[in-house]
Chains A and B, each alone.
Chain A
Amino acid sequence: MQTPSVWAISASVVVFVATYVGILSERVHRTAVAIAGAVAMIAVGSWFGFYDMVAAGRAVDFGTIFLLFGMMIVVELFKETGFFQYLAIVAAKLTRGRAWLLLIYLGIVTSVVSMVLDNVTTIIILVPVTVSIADIMGVPALPFLIAELLLSNIGGVATLIGDPPNILIGSAAGFSFTDFLVHLAPIVIVSWAVAQGFLLLVFWRRLRTSSESVERLMAMNERRAITDAVTTRRMLIVLVGTIVTFLVHDRLALEPGVVALAGASVGLFWVRPPLEKILQGIHWDVLLFFIALFMIVGGLEAGGLLEIVGRGIQALTAVGMAVAVVAVLWGSALASGVLSNVPFTIAMLPVFKGLAAQGLPIGPLWWALALGVGLGANLTPIGAASNVVVTSLAAATTERLPLRTWLRTGSAVAVLTCIVGTGALLVAVALGLL
């Protein structure tokens, strides 16, 4: 790598900061801002010679984009059949109309599902169900959506395949499925319980249901909700097939993104919906936002900023492992809140591998990174792909998710769980467990 020039670094940082201010100010749609930022990064990069269109194209993680896109199509095909409403009614009846119980049930379901599926898939499947349930019970959907999102981000940290950053870290550090479970699951369970309790406390007042809506709910017949039984059966087969393929994807040598695309094309082939309508239901703003974000972060990396970060971490390990672990955890939590965790993790992998190549014992640092990017994802509305999906879906279906609400819930949960994670990591390092 060449020594980064001051011009390249400052130009890329200026574009980056301006874009983020634009996104957070919420005056113009974040996707428009992000595209403008990506174009500016490429233009500035071409000017100073550190970045261009080709490099920007390469910076985009199409695995993530394909995965999002494929799962969106599968869910869109499902939506027409009434199957989500069916599930919603069954779940709501199970709670006998108690909204707080529903929050706990949904929380558990989300976390378990997001341990085996990645968060984006989990969220894309669960959001329509949740919106239907809330509709039936006469309660606002937003608390449930937020809880599902935050808990899925936390739950996903526990396994190799639960979170896109974990897949990246696992393959870079050579950790197995069991490694992740043994090292992270205990910490995740504690963090999860803390977050669940906190969310119940925050949302308690919004979770009241009226007795008449409960009566109406119990009188509903879930079987009537299904409007198209043939399509439902076909799509169930497609969904199960896709999920099974996800679980064995590395043995088949297929990327998760290709698996999702295959599921989508089988669904389209079998169900034969009007394609135009399905494509209009796709959240293009989310997909474009991510593509643009990857390009911007790619420019930041090409500009040389991330290399400086790597040197900083290296200096920290000299001070002592405990300090380095805490710094990596909080640093990456903060950074993935700002940069979104997948691009940040992608940018950090070479840094960490470089440290490992120098013979440093960096096992604990990998775990700190996994915890930091996983738990830190809850920090901001753009901390993870699933956050953006939920924000966009919420705006389209129920109500907007303002930044203020996010700060009160997501950011608070992120800070709380990071504190738990820090304590656990420090104990583990002190006892030599990691």
Chain B
Amino acid sequence: MSGVDWVSFSVAVFLFLVTYLGILTERLHRTVVALTGAVAMLALGRWLGFYTVDEAIGAIDFNTITLLMGMMIVVRVVKETGSFEYLAIRATKLAHGRPWLLMLYLGVVTSVLSMVLDNVTTIIILVPVTFSIADILSISPIPFLMGEVILSNIGGVATLIGDPPNVLIGSAAGFSFTDFLVHLAPIVLIVWAVTQGMLLLLYRRELLKSPANLDRLAEMDASKVVTDRRGAKRMLWVLGLTVVLYLIHDRIGLDPGLVALLGACMALVWIRPKLEEVLGDIHWDVLLFFAALFIVVGGLDKAGVLGMLANAVAGLTGHGMAIAALAIFWGGALMSAVVDNVPFTIAMLPVLAGLSARGLQIDALWWALALGVGFGGNATPVGATSNVITISMSERTPTPISTRMWLRTGLTTTLVGCVLASGLLFAAVELGLL
């Protein structure tokens, strides 16, 4: 990029850093910080001439926002039918009330689901079930929640549709569903198994305790907790149809966000819940947080910061493909730990596409990017969309997840996972497998 204005550049970087520090310190609600950051970025961008309101609106990925909102509405309507409690009781009985076994089951279910659904949907559906399970057994839901988020972020990396960055990368690089499975699934599988083991180890104290309520569990009748049978049946249809539409969305030309909204409309019009109540329960703080964050990152982009970063990455390819792949992997992991991985991926797409236009064979770099942003998102509470949602949901319960709790588990598993993955990546590139 030519002619970077250094005042705009440093102002944008400064605002971005202050916003992120403000979010991580947790002194104020992260949404308030993000909102203020967005307003400041807009006002200063306007005066310095690097950012306009229209550009800020353009920077918001409405597909993500509508996807979130649609699924939140659907899940809220399902919740009222008692279906989540039903699932929770069945799952707990299946595990005979043993927490570590439950953790394993939930981990497998999460990963499989997040391979076909995006992580956000997976998490929004599973978290209420998890709360019910923890409630039944009177144990802390936090180990389960952390396990689900982290494993869903890892599992999603394996498929084209499992993770929003993968959708972006797939469409930019022209990779198919099978391409993703063949190239990434083996690495994902290994990292997944190691992470699952680490999670069991990290939470061994909580998971090996025998819950006090086993007698109560035996008495529970799963079929009795469904309070609204007709509603539950209808919502099953809605949910089923929505998932089917997700799977074929690109063939019928509908964005995932639109599909989610379609599901929400079906739920609202068919079940007719009290709209004010449903809307009151939506996690608006999450939606606003993302909208504001997109605006902040958009300002960073328009001030030329992301472009400069990208150029630096491009310079690396001169040192050999394996080195470049590793640099992109770690750069992607580091960046998506700090920035949400979707905006970062969006910023990287033109860089890699540009390299490929110069005639370089850069498939390995695309795969490195997908792995890096996918695994790196687990490191911090703001690294991936599903992290923020889980935290926000936990804040409505007596056991909120704090930044420190997150870092203890997230950072450790991410570090180990990334070291492992970069070794595998290096080997695969050197052997010419990628």
* In contact, B254 and A43 (Cβ under 8 angstroms): yes
Query: Which 9 pairs show the lowest CB-CB distances between chains A and B?
Result: A29-B275, A32-B268, A265-B36, A36-B265, A275-B29, A284-B279, A268-B32, A279-B284, A262-B39
Q: Contact mask B2-20 → A, CB, 8 Å, 1/0? A: 0000000000000000000
Give a binary string over B238-275; 1 marks a CB under 8 Å from any A CB, 0 the rest. Answer: 00000000000000011101100110110011001001
Pick out which of these stretches binds chain B: A116-124, A137-145, A249-257.
A249-257
A328 interface residue per 8 A CB criterion: no
Interface string of A333-348 (1 = CB under 8 A from B): 0000000000000000
**B174 touches A (CB below 8 Å):** no
A258 CB contacts on chain B under 8 angstroms: 39, 42-43, 46, 53
Q: How far is the CB of A269 from chain B (nearest CB, A)?
A: 6
Contacting pair A42 B265 (CB below 8 A) = no
Given A57-B62, A275-B31, do A284 and B262 touch, yes or no (CB 8 Å)?
no
Contact B269 A62 (CB under 8 A): no
* A282 part of interface (Cβ distance < 8 Å): yes
Within A73-100, the residues touching B (CB, 8 Å) are: none
Inter-chain contact A43/B258, CB cutoff 8 Å: yes
26 contacts between A and B (CB under 8 A): A28-B272, A31-B279, A32-B268, A32-B269, A35-B261, A35-B265, A36-B269, A38-B261, A39-B262, A46-B254, A53-B255, A53-B258, A253-B47, A254-B43, A254-B46, A258-B42, A258-B46, A265-B36, A268-B29, A268-B32, A269-B36, A276-B285, A279-B288, A284-B279, A284-B282, A284-B284
| B35 engages A268 (CB within 8 Å) | yes
Supposing A258-B43, A275-B29 touch, asked if A264 and B35 sit within 8 A by C-beta, the answer is yes
Judged by a CB distance under 8 angstroms, whether B210 is at the interface is no
Min CB–CB distance B229 → chain A (angstroms): 22
Q: Are B279 and A53 in contact (CB under 8 A)?
A: no
Interface residues of B (CB under 8 A from A): 28-29, 31-32, 35-36, 38-39, 42-43, 46-47, 53, 57, 62-63, 253-255, 257-258, 261-262, 264-265, 268-269, 272, 275-276, 279-280, 282, 284-285, 288, 395-396
Q: Could you list which residues of chain A lie within 8 angstroms of chain B, going by C-beta atoms? A: 28-29, 31-33, 35-36, 38-39, 42-43, 46-47, 53, 57, 62-63, 253-255, 257-258, 261-262, 264-266, 268-269, 272, 275-276, 279-280, 282, 284-285, 288, 396
Whether B285 pairs with A46 at a CB distance below 8 angstroms is no
Contact B39 A280 (CB under 8 A): no
- Residues in A with CB closer than 8 Å to B261 are 35, 38-39
Measured in the bound complex, the distance between the Cα atoms of B262 and A46 in whole Å is 14
**A33 to chain B: which residues have CB within 8 Å?**
269
Q: List the B residue with the shortest CB-CB distance to A66.
A: B53
**Closest residue of chain B to A29, judged by CB?**
B275
Closest-by-CB residue of A relative to B49 is A253
B280 to chain A: closest residue by CB: A280
List the B side residues contacting A63 at CB < 8 Å.
53
Given A32-B275, A43-B258, A262-B39, verify A269-B47 contact (CB < 8 Å): no
* A171, chain B: closest CB distance, angstroms: 14
Nearest B residue (CB) for A34: B265
Contact assessment for B28 and A269 in the assembled complex, using a CB-CB cutoff below 8 Å: yes
Residue of A nearest to B35 (CB): A265
Which of the listed residues A33, A62, A279 has the most CB atoms from chain B within 10 Å of its own CB?
A279
Q: Which residues of A contact B269 (CB under 8 A)?
A: 28, 32-33, 36
Contact (Cβ within 8 A) B275 A285: yes
**Is A265's CB under 8 angstroms from B275's CB?**
no
Closest residue of B by beta carbon distance from A35 = B265
Identity of the chain A residue whose Cβ is nearest the Cβ of B65 in the assembled complex: A57
Q: A28-B272, A285-B275 are in contact. Are A261 and B35 (CB under 8 A)?
A: yes
Give Cα distance in the complex from A265 to B43, angstroms: 13
Q: Which residue of A lies closest to B260 (CB)?
A: A39
A57 smallest CB distance to B (angstroms):
5
Given contacts A269-B32, A280-B280, A285-B276, contact A32 B39 (CB under 8 A): no
CA distance A29 to B264 in the complex (A): 14
B264 proximity list for chain A (CB < 8 A): 35
A53 lies within 8 A of B43 (CB): no
Query: Known pairs A32-B275, A39-B261, A264-B35. 7 more at Cβ < 8 A?
Result: A28-B268, A36-B269, A42-B258, A53-B257, A253-B46, A257-B53, A265-B35
- Chain B residues contacting A261 (CB-CB under 8 Å) are 35, 38-39
With both chains docked as a complex, state the minimum distance between the C-beta of A418 and any C-beta of chain B, in angstroms.
33
> Within 8 Å CB of A29, what residues of B?
268, 275
A285 touches B279 (CB 8 A): yes
Q: How far is the CB of B259 from chain A (nearest CB, A)?
A: 9
Task: Knowing A53-B257, A253-B46 are in contact, say whether A275-B63 is a contact too (CB < 8 A).
Answer: no
The docked-state distance in angstroms from the alpha carbon of A288 to that of B276 is: 12
Contacts of A275 in B (CB 8 A): 29, 31-32, 285
Contacts of B285 in A (CB 8 A): 275-276, 279
Known: A53-B62, A255-B53. A46 touches B39 (CB 8 A): no
Residue of A nearest to B262 (CB): A39
| CA A284 to CA B272, docked complex, whole Å | 17
Residue numbers in A under 8 Å from B262 (CB-CB): 39, 43
Which residues of A are found within 8 Å of B62, using beta-carbon distances? 53, 57
**Chain B residue nearest to A265 in the complex (CB):** B36
Alpha-carbon distance between A108 and B224 when the two chains are bound, in angstroms: 59
Tell me the complex Cα distance, A296–B234, Å. Answer: 28
